Amino acid sequence: MTLQKPAVFSNMTFDWPVLHWNVTHLASLLAGKKILFRIGRKDTAPLFETECTYAEATLDDFLAWSGGQQPCPSGPFRSYDLCKYWMYADYKYIARLFEDKPEHFQDIRWSDFGFPGRNGRESTLWIGSTGANTPCHLDSYGCNLVLQVQGRKRWHLYPPEDSRLLYPTRIPYEESSVFSKVNVLNPNLRQYPLFKKARAHVITLDPGQVLLVPRHWWHYVESTDPITVSVNSWIELDADHEARIEEAITRMMICAIKSAENPSATDSWLNPTEVEVTSHDTNLEYLNKAVSTYLEHQKTSTIKNQVPQIHSTDGILQGSYKRRKVQSNTESECIKPKPCDFNVTAIETENLTTIPFGQSLFQVLPQSQEICPTGGAERDYKDLFSESERHFEKLHPAGKTSVTTSNSGALVEDLECMTTSPQTVLSTNDLLDCALDPQVVGVIARLLLEKVNV
């Protein structure tokens, strides 16, 4: 859990039954059950989820379509040419897919990684075709373990300290995901000049391999084979307590401002993974609960000085699913955590000073990028960073913020480089990109905590 860079485990899953979960096998297990597919054009990838179309279909329908049975005279995919479109059944919680067949939860053994009792119940299934992709984003909560089952996926990963280079945005909004404005495959460097400094770590994940995506690492993921299947699980961390406060602040502000702007236009800013715009009272309740849980956690851990670890505690951290994907239509249920049935003994720091990299565990190394800048002048902000750091430390001498980037002074560069040409009209989204910048929200969270600690 101290490994702060992406790495691939090569020999951990050879005896896991889930490796037999190819799409043909899954189609048999699910017995005609319809699931939602996200659909996008290959010539416009990557796409935000708000820009995609959606269709319900069975895995048999998907197999027929991906097998090239075109043109398809009927069925949900009849209008989509295999050469022009991709399909993605993403964020499918295995606990829901197999709620009538819980024995299949045991096919996935995250317990082999040191998480007792963790299996398919706390996992998510992803099924896609060539070109299916997840927009570049970071996850606010936890870290991520991803098992490739069928086909291959290419991962483009960027470290947390590169966040300002990725131009973060909360629109489209979904809890726990901060999206990048940049098309990382074909960046517009006139519009986003800082991206040329971003350090991509690229890996193609093969079947049987497990990728560790550490906390706050950005990632863009794309299927490179005709059919891909993968399974992942988000692992909770101590830092999630403060992240819950930051996410509650973000939800409260964006729901208030965007709803006031145009109450009926949620499709343009609310991600499809979010069920609805929650009310002000619900958002305030969630914020208060997040703060209370954080403070309670701080009380129980004041005498501890350990590396980040997994806890099974009361409160928000118990949620074994990312909250954004499990909201219901009932407002009161939006803030209820899911129970977590594992507890991990504290790991001694001295036992992790040397990571045994080799054939079975290897790092995803940086890829040299030869991106020619198309616009925007470079500046040396070193002195500006130092000055901003000193100012920030005066405001918060005793604590550090839990924010996306490690250098708080980089916020100044963000604000100065957010646009490369004069704008005559600023939009609500422009304001929100500044107000909801992860660093800004981190400062607000710290100020709130100072207020309640007075």
How many of the other CB atoms lie within 10 Å of CB of 186?
8
Q: How far apart are CA 116 and CA 274, in angstroms?
A: 30
Please write the tens of the pLDDT for every residue from 2-45: 788 999 999 999 999 999 999 999 999 999 899 999 999 999 87
Q: What average pLDDT does the chain have? A: 82
CB–CB of 164/220 below 8 Å?
Answer: no
374 belongs to a structural domain: no
Same domain as 229, residue 322: no
The separation between CA 212 and the C-alpha centre of its own chain, rounded to angstroms, equals 13
- Confidence at residue 424, expressed as pLDDT on a 0 to 100 scale: 64
Same domain as 129, residue 145: yes
364 belongs to a structural domain: no
Same domain as 307, residue 194: no
**Burial environment of residue 394 by CB neighbours within 10 A (0 to 12, 13 to 18, 19 or more):** exposed
Same domain as 169, residue 224: yes
CATH number for 112:
2.60.120.650
Mean of pLDDT values over 396-424: 51
Which of 204-213, 357-366, 390-399, 439-448 is least confident?
A: 390-399
Same domain as 24, residue 63: yes
pTM over 0.85: no
Closest CA to 137 of 102, 106, 108, 169: 169
Same domain as 38, residue 107: yes
Write down how long the chain is: 454
Residues 329, 39, 181: CA angle, nearest 5 degrees: 80
137 belongs to a structural domain: yes
- Confidence at residue 305, expressed as pLDDT on a 0 to 100 scale: 52
Considering Cα of 411, then 417, then 418, then 424, what sign does the dihedral take? positive
Give kind and range of the element (H or E) at residue 9. Answer: strand 7-9
Q: What's the half-sphere exposure (Cβ side, CA atoms, 13 Å) at 268? A: 9
The separation between CA 39 and the C-alpha centre of its own chain, rounded to angstroms, equals 20
CB–CB of 104/29 below 8 Å?
Answer: yes
As beta bridge partners, residue 154 has 204, 222
Q: How far apart are CA 174 and CA 178, in angstroms?
A: 8
Please write the tens of the pLDDT for every residue from 216-272: 999 999 999 999 999 999 999 999 999 999 999 999 999 999 999 988 888 889 999
Closest CA to 65 of 124, 127, 138: 127
Same domain as 147, residue 13: yes
Please write the tens of the pLDDT for every residue from 50-92: 999 999 999 999 999 998 765 555 689 989 999 999 999 999 9
Same domain as 121, residue 16: yes
Q: Which residues contact 405 (CB under 8 A, 6 or more apart)?
A: 160, 161, 163, 164, 411, 438, 439
Enumerate helices (H) and strands (E) in the chain, giving the number of each. 9, 15
Please write the tens of the pLDDT for every residue from 343-400: 444 444 455 567 888 889 999 999 875 444 444 333 333 443 344 444 445 444 444 4
Q: Which domain, by its residues, includes 149?
A: 7-235
Which of 28-37, 107-116, 328-337, 410-419 is least confident?
A: 328-337
Same domain as 215, residue 69: yes
Domain count, the chain: 2
Q: How far apart are CA 67 and CA 108, in angstroms?
A: 27
CB–CB of 135/49 below 8 Å?
Answer: yes
- Confidence at residue 262, expressed as pLDDT on a 0 to 100 scale: 86
Q: How far apart are CA 76 and CA 360, in angstroms?
A: 42
Mean of pLDDT values over 412-437: 75
Q: How far apart are CA 229 and CA 30, in angstroms?
A: 15
Out of 235, 260, 283, a domain closes at: 235
Which amino acid does the sequence have at 14? F
Q: How far apart are CA 397 and CA 41, in angstroms?
A: 50
CB–CB of 87/94 below 8 Å?
Answer: no
Does pLDDT of 293 surpass 60? yes
Helix, strand, coil percentages for the chain (3-state, nearest 5): 35, 20, 45
Same domain as 286, residue 174: no
Tokens of 302: 């004041």
